Structure 1
Amino acid sequence: MAIGFHQQNEKTLLKLSLYMAGLFVFVAFGFALTTQSGAILFDGVYSLIAFFMALLTLKVANLVQLPDDDRFHFGYTAIEPTLNLFKSLIIIVTCLYAIVGSIQSLFAGGNAAEYDLAMLYGVFATIGCFAISFYMKNRSKSLRSDLVSVDAHTWFIDGVLSASILIGFVIAYCFEQYGFADYAPYVDPLLLVILGLAILPIPCKIMLDSLKEVIHKAPPEAVTSVIEKRLKQTLAAVPYEHIEVRISKSGRDTYLLVHIIVDESFSVATVRELDSIRKKSEAAMREWNPSIIMDILFICDPELAD
């Protein structure tokens, strides 16, 4: 019941992201045509990308909840970091395109815009994007969903973008009002260059984190050491010489391959006894962290754990 509830919450949040992205696309493009602002146009393109990514994310959210089958023996959770990797690459390309285009605009004399209307858009977009980001992040705390987390980051980036655009429009408007109108056209493209460079680290970090999951790189030692310590506590009743643990995170799942090199005093009469040890250990680990999936092997020869 709890898992189903979490899945429903995840889909609700992702649908909210989809609908709001669609709204922002229409609003941004409308203001971009009215004000002739390249910064607002860029914000609209970003929202358009977010809209199509939200459609894809909803599809992936349905897939990752499916059990393993004949085509995907380990389930569909690997699609999750792959999608996040793709989304981050799209955002990076968009930022780089905006930076290059803005530099060309600067050398061409800048870009004049209707800054009074543009400021109205800036206020609406800034409040809206930060509100959605905060809401999604707050609601997703109890969910183990990288999809929602990345979406919240995407809206935060859009909020930073909109807030910076608003500040730039205020500066340009002041230039026009106080005798510096010749400098006003440079504000819009200069702002885009600064924004693009400032935003890039966020999707780059998402890209690197997602790439680590795609290639099954082990989590940081600070994470693995905690998992190993907890695992050994669940196996305290088992006489062993050493426990070798391989850990891989893929989307919302954390997979543990555990080799228990048993002591000579270890003895069981039936395989059911081994199953009982496995079940108790996995139940305790999943109670601590529901994302954990485990396979436990009992061996005598340490070389089999290599």
Structure 2
Amino acid sequence: MTEQSLLKLSIVATIALAFCGIGAGLYSGSFAVVFDGIYSLTDAFMTVLALSVARLIAASAQPKPEGKLVERFTMGFWHLEPIVLGLTGTLLIGAAFYALINAVDSLKEGGRLIAFDYAIAVTFVTFAVALAMAWFVSRKNRTLKSAFVALDAKGWFMSAMLSAALCVAFVAGYMLLQTKYAWLAPYTDPGILALVCLIIIPMPLANVKQALLDILLVTPPELKQHVDKVAIATVQKFGFSSHYSYVARVGRGRQIELFFIVPQNWPARRLEEWDAIRDEVGRELGGEGHDRWLTIVFTTDEEWAV
């Protein structure tokens, strides 16, 4: 199964669960269940964006890409990936903050009584489906190793945990109705919603942080060290004066620019010899493929490198 087909399956399943959750929440009177549906619907919308970006990246990686978009974005579409990932995390955090505010407001007003039996059934089914999808998507991503699919799997897992927490809370609320603590039952729905929101809000922060680093072209230390190690060995092997390296990670793409400073008045070399050095450096760097943008320049003028 490809990245795109897996994301398509996830989109269909997410939208189906989302509408079922929103409808069930409105019927049972549970804003927590409605939030679960809205959260899933937001996740589905962002997965559609992720699928579109994945298609663009795949199209631009073809040997002879065609299309107006490819012509307008000759540097590729890698930069869209961290934008989508960051936007996804930000929207999910925003939705959780909004739900938290509503939950606190409801608690202040004495809570709300809901149809616990219906809410229990719906949240249990949602939990089972979401957990199965989280396992399935994570298993498939062992070979795909896609950041989009990984985030989608995390979204399914978060949805499963949210549904499980809601189900347990509704069972507890239903049991409270049969006791002298029945007055606490109306606080069950907003109380568990507030707790779930406090747990969910920090979860996408790591993805947002990484997306921001990619958007700002912050150099990954490990990649920079590896590139410099290969470049220094090349300088010593061929007798170059020095080197300059510029490295960035943008989504799944790695952008590497290497400038080797050649001593002046060196004996002339054929272009094939310089190309052979480039090929050797490329092999030492590793990771050759559509997601690596490698530029290697040889010059005697340092101003071209700085």
TM bracket, shorter-chain basis: 0.7 to 0.9
* Deviation, structure 1 residue 263: 5.8
Q: Deviations over 1:50-89 (max 9, x none)?
A: 2222222222221122327431121111111111111112
Is 2:245 the counterpart of 1:252?
A: no
Distance 1:132 1:156 in 2: 8
**How many pairs does the alignment contain?**
298
1:233: how far off? 5.9
Answer whether contact 1:235 1:281 (CA < 8 A) is retained. Answer: no
1:170 corresponds to 2:133? no
Q: Which residue of 2 aligns with 1:270?
A: 270
- C-alpha deviations, 1:128-178, integer Å up to 9, x for none? 222212221221122242221221222222122112212221221222233
**2:265, 2:135 → 1: CA distance?**
55
Q: Distance in 2 between matches of 1:275 and 1:183?
A: 76
Match of 1:35 in 2: 28
8 Å contact from structure 1 (residues 66, 75) kept in 2: no
More off after superposition, 295-304 vs 86-95: 295-304
Assess, with a 3 A threshold, how the Cα gap between structure 1 residues 84 and 178 changes in structure 2: closer, same or farther. same
Residue 231 to residue 124, structure 1, CA distance change in 2 (3 Å)? farther
* 2:219–2:249 CA contact under 8 A, matched in 1: yes
| CA deviation map 1:249-287 (0-9, x unaligned) | 112111111122346797551222112221232244345
Cα distance in 2 between the residues matched to 1:266 and 1:152: 56
Structure 1 contact 81–210 (Cα < 8 Å) conserved: yes
Distance 1:227 1:160, change over 3 A: farther
SS of the residue 2:112 aligns to: coil
Find the counterpart in structure 1 of residue 8 from structure 2: 15
**Post-superposition offset of 1:43:** 0.4
Relative distance call for 1:32 and 1:284 in structure 2 (3 A) is same
Per mean C-alpha deviation after superposition, the further-off stretch among 173-182 and 62-71 is: 62-71
| Contact preservation (8 Å) 2:46, 2:88 | yes
Query: Residue 44 of structure 1: CA displacement?
Result: 0.6
2-side partners of 1:288 and 1:229: how far apart? Answer: 17
Partner of 1:44: 37
| Shift in CA distance, 135/231, structure 1 to aligned 2, threshold 3 Å | farther
Distance 2:92 2:21 in 1: 17
Distance 2:228 2:174 in 1: 59
Partner of 1:245: helix, strand, or coil?
A: strand
| Structure 2 match to 1:120 | 121
Distance 1:231 1:291 in 2: 20
Question: Retained in 2: the 8 A contact 1:31–1:118?
Answer: yes
CA distances 1:192-236 after superposition (whole Å, capped 9, x unpaired) = 1111111111222211211111121112x2443245435656777
Aligned counterparts of 2:160 and 2:265: Cα–Cα separation in 1 = 62
Q: 1:267 to 1:17 in 2, by over 3 A?
A: farther
Output the amino acid matched with 1:127. Answer: A
Q: In percent, how many aligned pairs have the same letter?
A: 27
- In the aligned structure 1, how far is the partner of 2:268 from the partner of 2:117? 79
CA gap 1:225/1:305 in 2 versus in 1, 3 angstroms: same
1:120-139 superposed matches below 5 A? 120-139=121-140
- The correspondence of residues 64-79 of structure 1 with structure 2, limited to 5 A, is 64-67=57-60, 69-79=70-80
Question: Are the counterparts in 2 of residues 39 and 189 from structure 1 also a CA contact under 8 Å?
Answer: yes
Q: Distance in 1 between matches of 2:227 and 2:132?
A: 35
The whole-number CA distance in structure 2 between the counterparts of 1:138 and 1:160 is 18
Give the equivalent residue in structure 1 for 2:299: 299
Structure 1, unpaired ranges of 5+:
1-7
C-alpha displacement of 1:30: 3.0
Provide the C-alpha distance between the structure 1 equivalents of 2:232 and 2:8, rounded to a whole number of angstroms.
41
User: Counterpart in 2 of 1:154?
Assistant: 155
Structure 1 range deviating more: 81-90 or 256-265: 256-265
5 Å matches for 1:184-223? 184-219=185-220, 221-223=221-223
TM-score by length of 1: 0.87
| Residues in 1 aligned to 2:94 and 2:281: alpha-carbon distance in whole angstroms | 45
CA RMSD of aligned residues (A): 2.5
Structure 2 residue ranges without an equivalent (≥5): none
AA aligned to 1:174 is: M
Identify the residue that residue 4 of structure 1 maps to in structure 2.
none
